[in-house]
Chains A and B, each alone.
Chain A
Amino acid sequence: MEQLTSSIAPPRSSPKSSAPSSTQQGAGSVAKRLSNELMTLMMSSSPGISAFPKHDGNLFEWVGTIEGPSETIYAGLTFKISISFPPNYPYVAPTIKFDTPCYHPNVDISGGAICLDILQDKWSAVYSVQTILLSLQSLLGEPNNDSPLNSDAASLWDEPAVFKTQLMKHYRPVSDSA
């Protein structure tokens, strides 16, 4: 009975507000999903990856931290990324870019944009922040040189010494950028 009246109530109150309220409701469930993801991420303690909302009260903008995997050229380096969730997450992938300049075949060195299939056409609602972070971490060690955003880097990939020099030329330690 209560459910009935509550479902009748909104149209009666104001038909104009029905459209925003539905997105509001959507936002509510997105927020819930995001907060669940946050909880899972916090409790999972995967080494080298982490992320957290930038501001209290806003779950849609996060900051992420990725440590370069050991035994790769990125070992010992830490990269900051920013993650921005769309209102219709998880049906649409979040927008992710590197804040720390990252010299990498699939990363735009100036804008920080990333070319990663699961962030574009291969996105699925079952992915989560944690899977994205893990994918990014492994992307560092195993770039996809077939579709480079940074063709210089792609071409230098096979010469680690030169690559490393280029990498360190662009790299800014985290604490300086923050």
Chain B
Amino acid sequence: MATDALRSQVAAKWQESFHRLNSDAPGISGLMNFSEAWAISTQYLYPWDINNASLDGGGKPFGKDLNVARPAFSLVNHSRRLPALLENFLDDMRQNFYLIENEINQFMERYEADEDTAEIDPLITKLMEWYKSWAPPQELGSTFFSSYTLNFQTRLFSALPPSFAHGFKKLCARLLSPPDDDHAQWDPNIHAEVWKNFEILGLIDRYESIIASVGYEFIENHVLSKCTGEWGKPMLEELRVWMSEKVVPWMLHVYARGASNAEEARSMLQGVGSRFDFHINKTLCDLRTREIFDIIIDFPDSMGALQDLKDCLQRVDQRANLVRSLRKSNQKRLLHPGADTKLILQQYVATIKCLRIVDPPGVLLFKVADPIRRYLRERPDTIRSIVANLVGDDDGGDSLVDENEPIQPLQQPEFEDYTDPQWEPEPIDAGPEFRTNKPGDILSTLVSIYDSKDLFVKELQVLLAQRLLMITKDNSDRVERERKNVEILKIRFGEAALQVCEVMLRDMTDSKRIDGHVQSQKESVVHPTIISRHFWPSLESSDMVMPGQFKQLQEDYAHEFNVFKPDKTLKWLPHLGTVQLELELEDRTIEVDVPPLEAAFIELFADQAIWTLDELVKAVGAVDRSAAIKALSTWVDHGVLKEDPENTFRLLERAEEPSEAVVRERDLAALPVVEDTPAISVAQQQQADQMRVYWKFIEGMLTNLEKLPLDRIQSMLKFAPGYDRSIEQLGDFMEAARREGLVVVRDGIWKLNK
């Protein structure tokens, strides 16, 4: 049981508490007073239903008279019972919070029904009303108040349904976006009150990420709507201005609340401001990255976009993204069989120029260019396109190489010069095989697609040969133009590389001189171009023999030539060139310029009016049957010959009324005389020639060694000069030979088919 000591201690405590409450008042009157004050205080603080309040006589809510409550508060305070009062108050609040919850639910139900932020707005106002009505008076001190606020907010947050976050976001977005029409008059401060309410209710802190995302989305939308497809001028500066005008005022409410002056506000905004600025950069950068392919197509009209991209990339680390995106769109839109080589080259050159603006050291370019270059290397006509472009043979297409660019020698990849005082290390994202190439010289870059420039020089020779052989007596001034071209190319490719071209040009002038001389001795209608066989690309040979008067003309000319140059013999290439003819028929005269084969055929008809195709072919030596048909159809189109019956041709001394079929055909063809480009064996033909050599070797080894497996053939072919095929290529070749019945294979052993 309790001891005396305990008993006396309890008694002392009791006395102390009693005194505190009783305030030394006589009897228990103090106690009575306190109990009355307690009742008034709790009544005053009691969280009431503001929608359904019982009013007292003065029209105020019952028991809410601060004048009455104030002395009561001070008495409670005096008795040091405030903590108990607070506890009691908070407990009451907990019990009555359902009132607010009901209200919230009503609003949110309506909101969820039609997703209208108009429901959120009054909800906030209403909540503010609740908050203010329940708020304890200042007299109870800041501790009391802040406990209340914290408690209120905590309960509020738990009461708000998940859909509120969504609605709140929409509300914020509405507050943020200015009315569409009158940007100028939009005053961000009209919503200041709402923001303040948010702040009081603790919504800003709670939903900070939502508010930020509203800001981000706002920026994104603006950037996308303003900048998509707008590549003409740099947009970044404009966006920054927009940001400081439109977004910053809004941010002030959110992020600089409570700042007393501008300086303070600025420092508070710094962090979030740079985040938003970053977001602008990132959005713009992503946008341009998506658009990069088209931007490059539009170059140089898309300069602004490139400048933006450059600035953005400095801020945002999206270089890898850019490379990936561009490579992907190149793969999809450029490097496929449907794209013209010329187009690919143009896009490549544009890519070079564009990426040099974005990234002067060239790392991005290197990474993007690699697949393009690999693809171009596989295209058979890449060299031809480049060379044709170089000598201005392109019709219509833009020149790949900028006219204004100074003509300079090709650059060979150099070793790095470490003694160079301007030397800079390679950029950090450069791969191990990265090589800087000096900016500016597009041609060097193009030529470097291939390992050596020899291929280009060879192609140049072929092209030049073609162009020179097309020159006739009438447009001999074109020789001068070609000479100029060659001079320019000499600067690029070097004197030695173009020596052959030089000889070709000299042959042209020499031909003219020799022709002049020969003509002076004995006039002839033949004006040959005399070329030095060794210096010209191999011309397709032909076994064609010119019949009749042509043969006579050739022989006469050759005779005169031999007199003039006894140490040389003239070997005719009768299938090249053009013949100017005047056909005298019974009822009409026809004047045409035709290729030699056509001329040869019509010459044959001078003696005999009806020929079969086979006879004709035989009469001019061996010519391709299809070429013969083509030549004959030229005359059919001219109405000079008629095919009747098939493969038999008859001369029409008198013009026939063209039958309908012929007319239609002529309309379709609508080609008077097609001036064929002289057939010069190009790379493919040369390859076939080479393969013919290898075949001789294969034939030789199989003749003598009887039967060989493929790998033996491959290694034996090392005896053939310049053999560089892979065993797979050889396998294909042998397979082709087998199909032609030249060889047979059994168990992987090849032998000749005898």
Contacts and interface: CB of A to CB of B under 8 A. Distances in A.
Contacts of B720: 39, 42
B569 interface: no
A15 B202 CA distance: 99
B703 interface: yes
A56 B720 CA distance: 11
Interface string A153-173: 000000000000000000000
Interface string B669-700: 00000000000000000000000010011011
For chain B, what secondary structure do more than half of its interface residues adopt (helix, strand, loop), or is it mixed? helix
B696 A54 contact: no
B700 A51 contact: yes
Interface string B371-409: 000000000000000000000000000000000000000
B719 interface: yes
Given A39-B721, A65-B704, A53 B716 contact: yes
A21 interface: no
A42 B705 contact: no
Contacts, number: 51
Contact of B704 (A39, A50, A175): A50
A30 interface: no
Contact of B703 (A52, A53, A175): A52
Nearest to A51: B704
B164 to A, nearest CB: 86
A127 B696 CA distance: 22
Given A174-B706, A178-B706, A56 B712 contact: yes
Interface size class of A (residues with CB under 8 A): 20 to 34
B701 A52 contact: yes
Interface string A9-29: 000000000000000000000
B553 to A, nearest CB: 35
B693 A43 contact: yes
B567 to A, nearest CB: 25
B626 interface: no
A7 interface: no
A6 interface: no
Contact of B697 (A42, A45, A64, A175): A42
A38 interface: yes
Nearest to B713: A56
A106 to B, nearest CB: 22
Given A35-B721, A53-B719, A42 B704 contact: no
A41 interface: yes
A15 to B, nearest CB: 34
Given A35-B721, A63-B705, A174-B706, A56 B716 contact: yes
B753 interface: no
B715 A56 contact: yes
B725 interface: no
B712 A43 contact: no
A120 B707 CA distance: 33
B110 interface: no
B565 interface: no
Contacts of A63: 704-705
Contacts of B705: 52, 54, 63
A55 to B, nearest CB: 8
Given A43-B696, A45-B696, A38 B719 contact: yes
A59 interface: yes
A167 to B, nearest CB: 21
A66 to B, nearest CB: 10
Question: Which residue, of A35, A38, A42, A59, has the highest number of chain B Cβ atoms within 10 A?
Answer: A42
Question: Which residue, of B703, B716, B721, has the highest number of chain A Cβ atoms within 10 A?
Answer: B703
B438 interface: no
Contacts of A178: 706-707
A63 to B, nearest CB: 4
A137 B426 CA distance: 70
Given A50-B704, A174-B706, A175-B706, A56 B719 contact: yes
B724 to A, nearest CB: 16
Interface string B588-624: 0000000000000000000000000000000000000
A50 B703 contact: yes
B719 A59 contact: yes
Nearest to B701: A52
A32 B721 CA distance: 11
Interface string A46-86: 00001111101101001111000000000000001000000
A143 B712 CA distance: 37
A156 to B, nearest CB: 30
A122 B592 CA distance: 64
A40 B499 CA distance: 29
Contacts of B699: 42
17 contacts: A35-B719, A39-B721, A42-B696, A42-B697, A43-B696, A50-B700, A50-B704, A51-B704, A52-B704, A52-B705, A52-B716, A52-B719, A54-B705, A56-B716, A56-B719, A63-B705, A178-B707
Given A42-B699, A63-B704, A80-B704, 17 more contacts: A38-B700, A39-B721, A41-B700, A42-B693, A42-B700, A52-B703, A52-B704, A52-B705, A52-B719, A53-B719, A56-B718, A56-B719, A57-B718, A59-B719, A64-B704, A174-B706, A178-B707
Interface of B: 693, 696-697, 699-701, 703-707, 712, 715-716, 718-721
